[in-house]
Amino acid sequence: MPVGSVGPSTESNVNFDLEAFWLRYKGDLDLKANKSDLEHTRTDFGMWFKKIREELANKLNREDL
């Protein structure tokens, strides 16, 4: 287990367990990444759906002519 000390001076050293940190927070970091991917997917889908609706409206207008 990697353990280091963090602090501005030698008097206030804090033991930091990097492996424990990753075990605890890796899921949270992965979840944040997944939320970002979901936002991009939702935006892409919204633009795609808008284009489909516009094309469908154009098609219906052409048939009326």
CA 7 to chain centre: 31
Q: What's the N-to-C CA distance of the chain in angstroms?
A: 74
* Domain boundaries, position 53: 3-64
The pTM (predicted TM-score) of the whole model is 0.42
Q: How many domains, the chain?
A: 1
Of 38, 42, 32, 2, nearest to 20 by C-alpha is 2
Summarised one tens digit per residue, pLDDT across range 2-43 is: 554 454 544 456 677 888 888 888 877 777 777 778 888 889
